Amino acid sequence: MKRPRVLLADDHRLLREAFAQLLAPGCDVVGAVADGRALLAEAPALRPDIVILDISMPLLDGLDAGRQLKAMMPEVRLIFLTVSEDLELAAEALRLGASGYLLKNSAASELIKAIQDVFEGRPYVTPLATPALVASLIRQPAATQAAGQLTSRQREVLQLLAEGRSMKQIARTLAITPRTVAFHKYSVMQNLEIRTNAELVQFAIRHHIVNL
């Protein structure tokens, strides 16, 4: 029987190593990365069947990384594993095409079951989140509507700004000019009617674009 090829994406090294050990008996763990940009860079060559990723990662958060990865590799299956119990996040993950969603306080056996189900084509959502998830999926939550006003590039710039990176650092990370970074920042503030950097950071935290 074919073993699933699994790629891990989490910014905590201890967790990556623990998950790799946990999954080794039943999966081929083909790699482990620490941020969303590394995930996008390495996934095409590693050819995973399943990516297990955290929502809160530096440089590019898990939701945006997952969205871009699904566009690059539509066949890949995503399982989000996060500390957040915010059901709106779970709903957003499923809307972008995730096959699974677990909380980090789930049992180890649940992660193994989720991988088995997803590998066999069945979606998996942790029972810890399921009761209210349907209601969250039916309605479009206010947080998602607000964040949905932003383009992918604007979200990337906003996350990096909220992480405290300078215009030059953001420009190098995104391979654009500092002038373009400034333009995106101005556009975000105009669209969201935000006037200060502090409000910009508050918005990013409130809408789970960055986790501080």
Residue type, 70: K
Q: What is the CATH number of domain 5-138?
A: 3.40.50.2300
CA nearest to 31, candidates 53, 1, 58:
53
What residues form DSSP beta bridges with 52?
8, 79
Query: Residue ranges per domain, the chain?
Result: 5-138, 143-206
CA nearest to 29, candidates 10, 147, 173, 99:
10
pLDDT in tens, the chain (212 residues): 789 999 999 999 999 999 999 999 999 999 999 999 999 999 999 999 999 999 889 899 899 999 999 999 999 999 998 887 666 777 788 888 899 999 888 888 999 999 999 999 999 988 766 555 555 554 554 444 556 678 888 888 988 988 888 999 999 999 999 899 998 898 888 888 888 888 888 888 777 787 65
Q: CATH class for domain 143-206?
A: mainly alpha
Q: How far is CA 60 from the centre of its chain?
A: 8
Can you give the pTM of this predicted structure? 0.75
Kind of pairing between the strands at 5-9 and 50-53: parallel
What the block records as the tokens of 112 is 């193994």
123 CB neighbour count, 10 Å cutoff: 14
